[in-house]
Structure 1
Amino acid sequence: MELSFLTIILGTIVGFVLALTGAGGGMLSIPLLVYGLHLSVQQAAPVGLMAVGFAAALGSITGLRKGIVRYRAAVLMGISGMLAAPVGVFSAQRIPNQPLLILFACILLLIAFRSFRRKKISRNEQDVACSLNADNQRFHWTMRCARAIAGTGLISGYLSGLVGVGGGFIIIPSLIRHSHLDIRSIQATSLAVITLVSISGVSSAALHGSLPWAIALPFTIGSTFGLLGGLQIVTRLNQATIQLLFAWLVLLVAVSMLLKGSGLVA
Protein backbone atom coordinates (compact mmCIF):
# COMPACT_ATOMS: atom_id res chain seq x y z
CA MET A 1 0.00 0.00 0.00
CA GLU A 2 2.81 2.43 0.91
CA LEU A 3 4.61 1.68 -2.38
CA SER A 4 1.43 2.30 -4.41
CA PHE A 5 0.81 5.60 -2.61
CA LEU A 6 4.38 6.76 -3.24
CA THR A 7 4.10 5.68 -6.88
CA ILE A 8 0.91 7.72 -7.31
CA ILE A 9 2.58 10.76 -5.72
CA LEU A 10 5.58 10.48 -8.07
CA GLY A 11 3.24 10.08 -11.05
CA THR A 12 1.30 13.15 -9.94
CA ILE A 13 4.52 15.18 -9.95
CA VAL A 14 5.25 14.04 -13.51
CA GLY A 15 1.76 14.92 -14.73
CA PHE A 16 1.84 18.31 -13.02
CA VAL A 17 5.19 19.24 -14.55
CA LEU A 18 3.96 17.93 -17.91
CA ALA A 19 0.99 20.31 -17.74
CA LEU A 20 3.22 23.27 -16.84
CA THR A 21 5.98 22.70 -19.39
CA GLY A 22 4.31 20.79 -22.23
CA ALA A 23 6.89 17.99 -22.25
CA GLY A 24 9.08 18.20 -19.18
CA GLY A 25 7.22 15.72 -17.03
CA GLY A 26 8.21 12.85 -19.26
CA MET A 27 11.87 13.74 -18.89
CA LEU A 28 11.59 13.69 -15.10
CA SER A 29 9.76 10.36 -14.87
CA ILE A 30 12.93 8.29 -15.22
CA PRO A 31 14.90 10.12 -12.48
CA LEU A 32 11.90 9.98 -10.12
CA LEU A 33 11.48 6.26 -10.67
CA VAL A 34 15.21 5.56 -10.40
CA TYR A 35 15.72 7.56 -7.20
CA GLY A 36 12.25 7.31 -5.65
CA LEU A 37 11.51 3.63 -6.30
CA HIS A 38 15.07 2.38 -6.97
CA LEU A 39 14.24 1.00 -10.40
CA SER A 40 16.81 0.42 -13.10
CA VAL A 41 16.53 2.47 -16.30
CA GLN A 42 15.34 -0.69 -18.08
CA GLN A 43 12.44 -0.98 -15.62
CA ALA A 44 11.70 2.75 -15.39
CA ALA A 45 11.67 3.48 -19.13
CA PRO A 46 8.45 1.62 -20.06
CA VAL A 47 6.71 2.90 -16.90
CA GLY A 48 7.55 6.48 -17.80
CA LEU A 49 6.60 5.91 -21.42
CA MET A 50 3.22 4.51 -20.40
CA ALA A 51 2.45 7.57 -18.27
CA VAL A 52 3.67 10.02 -20.92
CA GLY A 53 1.77 8.18 -23.66
CA PHE A 54 -1.51 8.30 -21.76
CA ALA A 55 -1.10 12.02 -21.06
CA ALA A 56 -0.18 12.64 -24.71
CA ALA A 57 -3.33 10.79 -25.79
CA LEU A 58 -5.46 13.20 -23.76
CA GLY A 59 -3.70 16.16 -25.38
CA SER A 60 -3.89 14.77 -28.91
CA ILE A 61 -7.63 14.14 -28.60
CA THR A 62 -8.07 17.83 -27.83
CA GLY A 63 -5.91 18.71 -30.84
CA LEU A 64 -7.93 16.46 -33.13
CA ARG A 65 -11.16 18.10 -32.00
CA LYS A 66 -9.69 21.51 -32.80
CA GLY A 67 -8.47 20.29 -36.20
CA ILE A 68 -4.85 21.28 -35.60
CA VAL A 69 -3.26 17.81 -35.75
CA ARG A 70 -1.58 17.14 -39.11
CA TYR A 71 -2.80 13.58 -39.03
CA ARG A 72 -1.09 12.34 -42.22
CA ALA A 73 2.29 13.50 -40.89
CA ALA A 74 1.43 12.09 -37.46
CA VAL A 75 0.54 8.70 -38.95
CA LEU A 76 3.73 8.48 -41.03
CA MET A 77 5.91 9.63 -38.17
CA GLY A 78 4.01 7.43 -35.75
CA ILE A 79 4.34 4.30 -37.88
CA SER A 80 8.07 4.92 -38.24
CA GLY A 81 8.36 5.45 -34.50
CA MET A 82 6.26 2.37 -33.74
CA LEU A 83 8.65 0.28 -35.84
CA ALA A 84 11.71 1.74 -34.08
CA ALA A 85 10.41 1.71 -30.49
CA PRO A 86 10.58 -2.09 -30.05
CA VAL A 87 14.17 -1.97 -31.32
CA GLY A 88 14.90 0.59 -28.61
CA VAL A 89 13.26 -1.62 -25.97
CA PHE A 90 15.27 -4.61 -27.26
CA SER A 91 18.49 -2.56 -27.06
CA ALA A 92 17.70 -1.32 -23.54
CA GLN A 93 17.41 -4.87 -22.24
CA ARG A 94 20.92 -5.61 -23.49
CA ILE A 95 22.74 -2.46 -22.39
CA PRO A 96 24.01 -2.27 -18.78
CA ASN A 97 22.24 0.15 -16.46
CA GLN A 98 25.11 2.60 -15.97
CA PRO A 99 25.67 3.38 -19.69
CA LEU A 100 21.93 3.96 -20.04
CA LEU A 101 22.02 6.36 -17.11
CA ILE A 102 24.85 8.28 -18.76
CA LEU A 103 23.01 8.38 -22.09
CA PHE A 104 19.86 9.67 -20.41
CA ALA A 105 21.89 12.27 -18.52
CA CYS A 106 23.39 13.47 -21.82
CA ILE A 107 19.91 13.85 -23.30
CA LEU A 108 18.87 15.93 -20.29
CA LEU A 109 21.99 18.10 -20.62
CA LEU A 110 21.09 18.78 -24.27
CA ILE A 111 17.54 19.74 -23.30
CA ALA A 112 18.79 22.03 -20.50
CA PHE A 113 21.28 23.65 -22.88
CA ARG A 114 18.54 24.37 -25.41
CA SER A 115 16.29 25.79 -22.69
CA PHE A 116 18.97 28.17 -21.41
CA ARG A 117 19.90 29.37 -24.88
CA ARG A 118 16.27 30.03 -25.81
CA LYS A 119 17.39 30.37 -29.38
CA LYS A 120 14.89 29.89 -32.17
CA ILE A 121 15.61 27.00 -34.49
CA SER A 122 16.75 28.40 -37.79
CA ARG A 123 15.18 27.43 -41.09
CA ASN A 124 15.34 28.70 -44.63
CA GLU A 125 11.82 29.98 -45.28
CA GLN A 126 12.20 29.23 -49.01
CA ASP A 127 13.67 25.76 -48.61
CA VAL A 128 11.78 23.75 -46.00
CA ALA A 129 11.27 20.07 -46.72
CA CYS A 130 7.50 20.17 -46.16
CA SER A 131 5.82 23.22 -47.67
CA LEU A 132 2.14 23.89 -46.97
CA ASN A 133 -0.77 24.07 -49.38
CA ALA A 134 -1.98 27.69 -49.31
CA ASP A 135 -5.63 26.62 -49.58
CA ASN A 136 -5.96 24.07 -46.77
CA GLN A 137 -2.64 24.38 -44.84
CA ARG A 138 -1.86 20.71 -45.42
CA PHE A 139 1.57 19.40 -46.32
CA HIS A 140 2.60 19.32 -49.99
CA TRP A 141 3.97 15.80 -49.94
CA THR A 142 7.25 15.13 -51.73
CA MET A 143 9.83 12.39 -51.31
CA ARG A 144 12.05 14.84 -49.41
CA CYS A 145 9.22 15.70 -47.02
CA ALA A 146 8.36 12.03 -46.47
CA ARG A 147 12.02 11.23 -45.69
CA ALA A 148 12.23 14.07 -43.15
CA ILE A 149 9.01 13.04 -41.41
CA ALA A 150 9.78 9.30 -41.40
CA GLY A 151 13.36 9.89 -40.23
CA THR A 152 12.15 11.99 -37.32
CA GLY A 153 9.77 9.21 -36.35
CA LEU A 154 12.51 6.59 -36.43
CA ILE A 155 14.84 8.59 -34.17
CA SER A 156 12.16 9.59 -31.66
CA GLY A 157 10.74 6.05 -31.60
CA TYR A 158 14.11 4.44 -30.94
CA LEU A 159 14.93 6.84 -28.09
CA SER A 160 11.44 6.37 -26.65
CA GLY A 161 11.95 2.62 -26.45
CA LEU A 162 15.53 2.94 -25.23
CA VAL A 163 15.19 5.41 -22.35
CA GLY A 164 11.46 6.09 -22.02
CA VAL A 165 11.36 9.70 -23.23
CA GLY A 166 8.29 10.66 -25.25
CA GLY A 167 10.35 12.01 -28.14
CA GLY A 168 8.84 15.49 -28.19
CA PHE A 169 12.29 17.07 -27.85
CA ILE A 170 13.11 15.47 -31.24
CA ILE A 171 9.74 15.87 -32.98
CA ILE A 172 9.02 19.53 -32.18
CA PRO A 173 12.40 20.97 -33.34
CA SER A 174 12.23 18.79 -36.47
CA LEU A 175 8.75 20.02 -37.44
CA ILE A 176 9.82 23.61 -36.81
CA ARG A 177 12.86 23.15 -39.02
CA HIS A 178 11.16 21.24 -41.84
CA SER A 179 7.78 22.99 -42.09
CA HIS A 180 5.88 26.25 -41.72
CA LEU A 181 3.33 24.85 -39.26
CA ASP A 182 2.35 27.10 -36.37
CA ILE A 183 3.51 26.02 -32.93
CA ARG A 184 0.06 24.91 -31.72
CA SER A 185 -0.26 22.52 -34.67
CA ILE A 186 3.30 21.29 -34.14
CA GLN A 187 2.68 20.53 -30.46
CA ALA A 188 -0.63 18.79 -31.16
CA THR A 189 0.91 16.69 -33.95
CA SER A 190 3.82 15.80 -31.66
CA LEU A 191 1.41 14.58 -28.98
CA ALA A 192 -0.36 12.37 -31.52
CA VAL A 193 2.97 10.83 -32.56
CA ILE A 194 4.02 10.28 -28.94
CA THR A 195 0.73 8.48 -28.32
CA LEU A 196 1.34 6.05 -31.19
CA VAL A 197 4.98 5.47 -30.32
CA SER A 198 4.14 4.92 -26.66
CA ILE A 199 1.61 2.23 -27.57
CA SER A 200 4.32 0.39 -29.49
CA GLY A 201 7.02 0.82 -26.85
CA VAL A 202 4.82 -0.14 -23.91
CA SER A 203 3.39 -3.15 -25.77
CA SER A 204 6.87 -4.33 -26.67
CA ALA A 205 8.05 -3.97 -23.06
CA ALA A 206 4.98 -5.87 -21.84
CA LEU A 207 5.67 -8.69 -24.29
CA HIS A 208 9.28 -8.84 -23.12
CA GLY A 209 8.04 -9.06 -19.53
CA SER A 210 9.93 -5.88 -18.61
CA LEU A 211 6.91 -3.73 -17.64
CA PRO A 212 6.23 -3.78 -13.88
CA TRP A 213 2.44 -3.35 -13.94
CA ALA A 214 2.19 -2.91 -10.17
CA ILE A 215 4.17 0.32 -10.58
CA ALA A 216 3.09 1.35 -14.06
CA LEU A 217 -0.65 1.52 -13.35
CA PRO A 218 -0.58 3.69 -10.19
CA PHE A 219 2.16 5.86 -11.73
CA THR A 220 -0.02 6.47 -14.81
CA ILE A 221 -3.07 7.19 -12.65
CA GLY A 222 -1.06 9.71 -10.65
CA SER A 223 0.27 11.40 -13.79
CA THR A 224 -3.28 11.78 -15.10
CA PHE A 225 -4.44 13.49 -11.89
CA GLY A 226 -1.35 15.71 -11.93
CA LEU A 227 -1.89 16.65 -15.57
CA LEU A 228 -5.54 17.58 -15.05
CA GLY A 229 -4.67 19.58 -11.93
CA GLY A 230 -1.79 21.39 -13.60
CA LEU A 231 -3.96 22.39 -16.56
CA GLN A 232 -6.25 24.25 -14.15
CA ILE A 233 -3.51 26.67 -13.05
CA VAL A 234 -1.02 26.78 -15.93
CA THR A 235 -2.60 29.86 -17.53
CA ARG A 236 -2.16 31.85 -14.32
CA LEU A 237 1.60 31.31 -14.13
CA ASN A 238 4.48 33.11 -15.85
CA GLN A 239 5.68 30.74 -18.57
CA ALA A 240 9.13 32.34 -18.89
CA THR A 241 9.78 31.79 -15.18
CA ILE A 242 8.48 28.22 -15.36
CA GLN A 243 10.75 27.38 -18.29
CA LEU A 244 13.79 28.89 -16.57
CA LEU A 245 13.14 26.98 -13.33
CA PHE A 246 12.55 23.82 -15.37
CA ALA A 247 15.86 24.29 -17.21
CA TRP A 248 17.73 24.52 -13.89
CA LEU A 249 15.87 21.47 -12.58
CA VAL A 250 16.75 19.45 -15.68
CA LEU A 251 20.39 20.51 -15.37
CA LEU A 252 20.57 19.42 -11.72
CA VAL A 253 18.90 16.09 -12.48
CA ALA A 254 21.24 15.54 -15.45
CA VAL A 255 24.33 16.11 -13.31
CA SER A 256 22.95 13.80 -10.62
CA MET A 257 22.20 11.05 -13.16
CA LEU A 258 25.62 11.50 -14.75
CA LEU A 259 27.32 11.05 -11.38
CA LYS A 260 25.19 8.00 -10.62
CA GLY A 261 25.91 6.49 -14.02
CA SER A 262 29.61 7.12 -13.55
CA GLY A 263 29.54 5.31 -10.20
CA LEU A 264 30.61 8.40 -8.25
CA VAL A 265 27.42 8.36 -6.17
CA ALA A 266 25.26 5.44 -5.06
Structure 2
Amino acid sequence: MLLASFFGLVMGLVLGLTGAGGGILAVPALVLGLGLTMTQAAPVALFAVGSAAAIGAVDGLRHGLVRYRAALLIALLGAVFAPVGIYFAHQLPEKILKVLFSLLMIMVAWRMLRPEKLDDGPSDHGHANWGQKNCMLDQQTGRFSWTAKCTATLAALGAVTGVVSGLLGVGGGFLIVPAFKQLTDVQMRGIVATSLMVISLISVIGVIGAFHAGVRIDGLGGSFIVASIVGMILGRKLCARVPARGLQIGFASICVVVAAYMLFRALA
Protein backbone atom coordinates (compact mmCIF):
# COMPACT_ATOMS: atom_id res chain seq x y z
CA MET A 1 0.00 0.00 0.00
CA LEU A 2 2.86 2.38 0.91
CA LEU A 3 4.67 1.56 -2.34
CA ALA A 4 1.50 2.20 -4.35
CA SER A 5 1.09 5.59 -2.65
CA PHE A 6 4.72 6.51 -3.41
CA PHE A 7 4.40 5.62 -7.10
CA GLY A 8 1.12 7.53 -7.34
CA LEU A 9 2.66 10.60 -5.70
CA VAL A 10 5.56 10.63 -8.19
CA MET A 11 3.24 10.19 -11.18
CA GLY A 12 0.97 13.04 -10.06
CA LEU A 13 3.97 15.27 -9.39
CA VAL A 14 5.35 14.75 -12.91
CA LEU A 15 1.92 15.31 -14.45
CA GLY A 16 1.48 18.54 -12.51
CA LEU A 17 4.91 19.85 -13.48
CA THR A 18 4.73 19.05 -17.18
CA GLY A 19 1.07 18.62 -18.18
CA ALA A 20 2.21 15.40 -19.87
CA GLY A 21 4.27 12.35 -19.18
CA GLY A 22 2.98 11.38 -15.76
CA GLY A 23 0.59 8.87 -17.26
CA ILE A 24 3.34 7.08 -19.10
CA LEU A 25 5.05 6.41 -15.75
CA ALA A 26 1.84 5.12 -14.16
CA VAL A 27 1.60 1.87 -16.10
CA PRO A 28 5.23 0.75 -15.53
CA ALA A 29 4.87 1.59 -11.82
CA LEU A 30 1.76 -0.59 -11.59
CA VAL A 31 3.13 -3.43 -13.74
CA LEU A 32 6.76 -3.57 -12.55
CA GLY A 33 6.34 -2.16 -9.07
CA LEU A 34 3.01 -3.65 -7.98
CA GLY A 35 2.77 -6.75 -10.18
CA LEU A 36 -0.40 -5.92 -12.12
CA THR A 37 -0.94 -7.09 -15.69
CA MET A 38 -1.17 -4.53 -18.49
CA THR A 39 -4.96 -4.91 -18.74
CA GLN A 40 -5.33 -4.53 -14.95
CA ALA A 41 -2.96 -1.55 -14.83
CA ALA A 42 -4.55 0.42 -17.67
CA PRO A 43 -7.82 1.45 -15.93
CA VAL A 44 -6.04 2.22 -12.64
CA ALA A 45 -3.52 4.37 -14.51
CA LEU A 46 -6.27 6.13 -16.46
CA PHE A 47 -8.32 6.75 -13.32
CA ALA A 48 -5.28 8.16 -11.49
CA VAL A 49 -4.14 10.26 -14.44
CA GLY A 50 -7.66 11.51 -15.13
CA SER A 51 -8.35 12.45 -11.50
CA ALA A 52 -5.01 14.22 -11.12
CA ALA A 53 -5.39 15.98 -14.47
CA ALA A 54 -8.86 17.18 -13.51
CA ILE A 55 -7.35 19.05 -10.53
CA GLY A 56 -4.89 20.78 -12.84
CA ALA A 57 -7.58 21.51 -15.44
CA VAL A 58 -9.80 23.22 -12.86
CA ASP A 59 -6.84 25.35 -11.81
CA GLY A 60 -6.21 26.23 -15.47
CA LEU A 61 -9.87 27.14 -15.99
CA ARG A 62 -9.78 29.45 -12.98
CA HIS A 63 -6.86 31.32 -14.54
CA GLY A 64 -8.42 31.41 -18.03
CA LEU A 65 -5.67 29.26 -19.58
CA VAL A 66 -7.72 26.34 -20.97
CA ARG A 67 -8.73 26.37 -24.65
CA TYR A 68 -11.91 24.57 -23.65
CA ARG A 69 -13.52 24.34 -27.10
CA ALA A 70 -10.40 22.69 -28.50
CA ALA A 71 -10.18 20.45 -25.43
CA LEU A 72 -13.81 19.34 -25.81
CA LEU A 73 -13.35 18.55 -29.52
CA ILE A 74 -10.21 16.49 -28.90
CA ALA A 75 -11.86 14.72 -25.96
CA LEU A 76 -15.02 13.98 -27.97
CA LEU A 77 -13.03 12.26 -30.72
CA GLY A 78 -10.94 10.58 -28.06
CA ALA A 79 -14.09 9.23 -26.46
CA VAL A 80 -15.28 7.83 -29.79
CA PHE A 81 -11.97 6.07 -30.52
CA ALA A 82 -10.90 5.00 -26.99
CA PRO A 83 -13.08 1.83 -27.13
CA VAL A 84 -11.15 0.79 -30.25
CA GLY A 85 -7.93 0.85 -28.22
CA ILE A 86 -9.58 -0.98 -25.31
CA TYR A 87 -10.82 -3.71 -27.68
CA PHE A 88 -7.33 -4.33 -29.08
CA ALA A 89 -5.82 -4.23 -25.57
CA HIS A 90 -7.93 -7.26 -24.67
CA GLN A 91 -7.07 -9.07 -27.92
CA LEU A 92 -3.30 -8.62 -27.92
CA PRO A 93 -0.94 -10.80 -25.81
CA GLU A 94 0.56 -9.26 -22.66
CA LYS A 95 4.05 -9.46 -24.15
CA ILE A 96 3.05 -7.43 -27.22
CA LEU A 97 1.43 -4.74 -25.05
CA LYS A 98 4.60 -4.43 -22.96
CA VAL A 99 6.77 -4.14 -26.06
CA LEU A 100 4.46 -1.46 -27.54
CA PHE A 101 4.51 0.46 -24.28
CA SER A 102 8.31 0.28 -24.06
CA LEU A 103 8.67 1.61 -27.61
CA LEU A 104 6.21 4.39 -26.78
CA MET A 105 8.29 5.43 -23.76
CA ILE A 106 11.45 5.53 -25.88
CA MET A 107 9.67 7.74 -28.43
CA VAL A 108 8.53 10.12 -25.69
CA ALA A 109 12.07 10.29 -24.25
CA TRP A 110 13.54 11.01 -27.69
CA ARG A 111 11.09 13.86 -28.27
CA MET A 112 11.96 15.40 -24.92
CA LEU A 113 15.73 15.14 -25.40
CA ARG A 114 15.69 16.48 -28.96
CA PRO A 115 16.75 20.15 -29.09
CA GLU A 116 13.84 22.34 -30.16
CA LYS A 117 14.33 24.75 -33.04
CA LEU A 118 12.69 28.11 -32.61
CA ASP A 119 11.43 30.08 -35.58
CA ASP A 120 10.85 33.79 -35.84
CA GLY A 121 7.28 34.83 -35.15
CA PRO A 122 4.91 35.59 -32.30
CA SER A 123 4.64 31.98 -31.12
CA ASP A 124 8.35 31.08 -31.05
CA HIS A 125 7.91 27.50 -29.92
CA GLY A 126 7.35 25.23 -32.90
CA HIS A 127 8.98 24.01 -36.09
CA ALA A 128 6.32 25.49 -38.33
CA ASN A 129 6.62 29.09 -39.45
CA TRP A 130 4.17 31.69 -38.16
CA GLY A 131 1.96 31.56 -41.22
CA GLN A 132 1.98 27.75 -41.35
CA LYS A 133 0.32 26.91 -38.04
CA ASN A 134 -2.80 24.80 -38.54
CA CYS A 135 -4.66 26.50 -35.69
CA MET A 136 -4.17 30.22 -35.16
CA LEU A 137 -5.45 32.48 -32.40
CA ASP A 138 -7.47 35.50 -33.46
CA GLN A 139 -5.39 38.49 -32.38
CA GLN A 140 -8.50 40.46 -31.38
CA THR A 141 -10.50 37.87 -29.44
CA GLY A 142 -7.62 35.64 -28.29
CA ARG A 143 -9.59 32.57 -29.37
CA PHE A 144 -8.93 30.03 -32.12
CA SER A 145 -10.00 30.87 -35.66
CA TRP A 146 -12.07 27.75 -36.33
CA THR A 147 -11.17 27.02 -39.93
CA ALA A 148 -11.80 23.63 -41.55
CA LYS A 149 -8.05 22.91 -41.35
CA CYS A 150 -7.93 23.69 -37.64
CA THR A 151 -11.01 21.60 -36.86
CA ALA A 152 -9.70 18.61 -38.84
CA THR A 153 -6.29 18.84 -37.16
CA LEU A 154 -7.71 18.82 -33.63
CA ALA A 155 -10.19 16.06 -34.50
CA ALA A 156 -7.39 13.86 -35.86
CA LEU A 157 -5.34 14.50 -32.72
CA GLY A 158 -8.31 13.45 -30.60
CA ALA A 159 -8.81 10.22 -32.55
CA VAL A 160 -5.16 9.17 -32.21
CA THR A 161 -5.08 10.12 -28.53
CA GLY A 162 -8.23 8.09 -27.86
CA VAL A 163 -6.89 4.92 -29.46
CA VAL A 164 -3.54 5.14 -27.65
CA SER A 165 -5.15 5.87 -24.27
CA GLY A 166 -7.51 2.92 -24.61
CA LEU A 167 -4.78 0.56 -25.80
CA LEU A 168 -2.01 1.38 -23.34
CA GLY A 169 -3.72 3.16 -20.43
CA VAL A 170 -2.05 6.54 -20.87
CA GLY A 171 -3.76 9.92 -20.83
CA GLY A 172 -2.24 11.13 -24.08
CA GLY A 173 -0.54 14.28 -22.81
CA PHE A 174 2.71 13.22 -24.46
CA LEU A 175 0.88 13.49 -27.79
CA ILE A 176 -1.21 16.59 -27.06
CA VAL A 177 1.53 18.87 -25.71
CA PRO A 178 4.02 18.51 -28.61
CA ALA A 179 1.16 18.58 -31.15
CA PHE A 180 -0.14 21.87 -29.73
CA LYS A 181 3.38 23.33 -29.76
CA GLN A 182 3.84 22.27 -33.38
CA LEU A 183 0.42 23.08 -34.82
CA THR A 184 -0.91 26.05 -32.84
CA ASP A 185 0.33 29.40 -31.56
CA VAL A 186 -0.95 28.85 -28.01
CA GLN A 187 1.60 29.70 -25.32
CA MET A 188 3.03 26.96 -23.12
CA ARG A 189 0.97 27.62 -19.96
CA GLY A 190 -2.21 27.39 -22.05
CA ILE A 191 -0.97 24.20 -23.74
CA VAL A 192 -0.34 22.49 -20.38
CA ALA A 193 -3.73 23.54 -18.96
CA THR A 194 -5.58 22.45 -22.13
CA SER A 195 -3.68 19.15 -22.18
CA LEU A 196 -4.73 18.45 -18.58
CA MET A 197 -8.39 19.05 -19.42
CA VAL A 198 -8.24 16.71 -22.43
CA ILE A 199 -6.44 14.04 -20.39
CA SER A 200 -9.07 14.17 -17.65
CA LEU A 201 -11.98 13.89 -20.11
CA ILE A 202 -10.46 11.08 -22.19
CA SER A 203 -9.37 9.17 -19.09
CA VAL A 204 -12.95 9.14 -17.76
CA ILE A 205 -14.15 7.51 -20.99
CA GLY A 206 -11.33 4.96 -20.86
CA VAL A 207 -12.13 4.03 -17.27
CA ILE A 208 -15.83 3.59 -18.03
CA GLY A 209 -14.94 1.36 -20.98
CA ALA A 210 -12.61 -0.75 -18.85
CA PHE A 211 -15.23 -1.14 -16.10
CA HIS A 212 -17.73 -2.19 -18.75
CA ALA A 213 -15.22 -4.85 -19.86
CA GLY A 214 -15.18 -6.23 -16.30
CA VAL A 215 -11.96 -4.73 -14.88
CA ARG A 216 -12.12 -3.61 -11.22
CA ILE A 217 -9.88 -1.41 -9.01
CA ASP A 218 -8.69 -2.86 -5.66
CA GLY A 219 -7.22 -1.21 -2.55
CA LEU A 220 -3.74 -0.88 -4.05
CA GLY A 221 -5.18 0.90 -7.07
CA GLY A 222 -7.19 3.19 -4.81
CA SER A 223 -4.06 4.19 -2.85
CA PHE A 224 -2.25 4.89 -6.10
CA ILE A 225 -5.11 7.12 -7.33
CA VAL A 226 -5.39 9.16 -4.10
CA ALA A 227 -1.62 9.71 -3.96
CA SER A 228 -1.56 10.82 -7.60
CA ILE A 229 -4.07 13.59 -6.82
CA VAL A 230 -1.86 14.81 -3.96
CA GLY A 231 1.13 14.74 -6.32
CA MET A 232 -0.75 16.78 -8.92
CA ILE A 233 -1.55 19.50 -6.36
CA LEU A 234 2.11 19.70 -5.32
CA GLY A 235 3.28 19.69 -8.94
CA ARG A 236 1.01 22.60 -9.89
CA LYS A 237 2.43 24.63 -6.98
CA LEU A 238 6.04 23.84 -7.93
CA CYS A 239 5.81 24.11 -11.73
CA ALA A 240 6.89 27.78 -11.85
CA ARG A 241 10.05 27.06 -9.81
CA VAL A 242 11.48 24.03 -11.64
CA PRO A 243 13.73 24.58 -14.71
CA ALA A 244 11.83 23.12 -17.67
CA ARG A 245 14.88 21.73 -19.51
CA GLY A 246 16.26 20.01 -16.42
CA LEU A 247 12.87 18.43 -15.80
CA GLN A 248 12.69 17.21 -19.41
CA ILE A 249 16.14 15.61 -19.28
CA GLY A 250 15.46 13.93 -15.95
CA PHE A 251 12.07 12.61 -17.05
CA ALA A 252 13.42 11.39 -20.40
CA SER A 253 16.24 9.53 -18.63
CA ILE A 254 13.75 7.76 -16.37
CA CYS A 255 11.65 6.84 -19.42
CA VAL A 256 14.65 5.25 -21.18
CA VAL A 257 15.65 3.20 -18.13
CA VAL A 258 12.09 2.00 -17.42
CA ALA A 259 11.45 1.23 -21.11
CA ALA A 260 14.65 -0.82 -21.36
CA TYR A 261 13.69 -2.80 -18.25
CA MET A 262 10.14 -3.41 -19.49
CA LEU A 263 11.46 -4.52 -22.86
CA PHE A 264 13.92 -6.88 -21.21
CA ARG A 265 11.16 -8.38 -19.03
CA ALA A 266 8.81 -8.73 -21.99
CA LEU A 267 11.35 -10.49 -24.22
CA ALA A 268 13.06 -12.59 -21.53
Which TM-score applies when normalising by structure 1? 0.92
Any idea what the Cα deviations from partners look like across 1:169-196, whole Å, max 9, x if unmatched? 1111222222111111111111111111
Report how many residues are paired.
260
For residue 64 of structure 1, what is the aligned residue in structure 2?
A: 61
Give runs of aligned pairs for residues 4-19 of structure 1, distance below 5 A: 4-19=1-16
For residue 152 of structure 1, what is the aligned residue in structure 2?
A: 157
Give runs of aligned pairs for residues 200-239 of structure 1, distance below 5 A: 200-239=205-244
Any idea what the Cα deviations from partners look like across 1:103-141, whole Å, max 9, x if unmatched? 011110011111221324411311222222121111111
Give the CA RMSD over aligned residues. 1.7
> Is the partner of 1:93 in helix, strand or coil?
helix
For residue 124 of structure 1, what is the aligned residue in structure 2?
A: 129
The change in CA–CA distance for 1:188 and 1:260 in structure 2 (over 3 A counts) is: same
The change in CA–CA distance for 1:24 and 1:169 in structure 2 (over 3 A counts) is: closer
* Unpaired segments ≥5 residues, structure 1: none
1:86 and 2:83 are equivalent in the alignment: yes
Instruction: Using the aligned pairs only, state the percent identity.
Output: 40
Cα offset, 1:229, TM superposition: 3.4
The change in CA–CA distance for 1:230 and 1:205 in structure 2 (over 3 A counts) is: same
Which TM-score applies when normalising by structure 2? 0.91
The change in CA–CA distance for 1:118 and 1:177 in structure 2 (over 3 A counts) is: same
Instruction: Give 2:255's match in structure 1, choosing from 232, 250, 257.
Output: 250
Cα offset, 1:241, TM superposition: 2.5
For residue 36 of structure 2, what is the aligned residue in structure 1?
A: 39
Q: Whole-Å Cα distance in 2 between the matches of residues 131 and 225 of structure 1?
A: 35
Q: Whole-Å Cα distance in 2 between the matches of residues 125 and 252 of structure 1?
A: 37
Give runs of aligned pairs for residues 141-220 of structure 1, distance below 5 A: 141-220=146-225
CA contact (8 A) 2:138 2:144 kept: yes
CA contact (8 A) 1:54 1:195 kept: yes
Cα offset, 1:233, TM superposition: 4.4
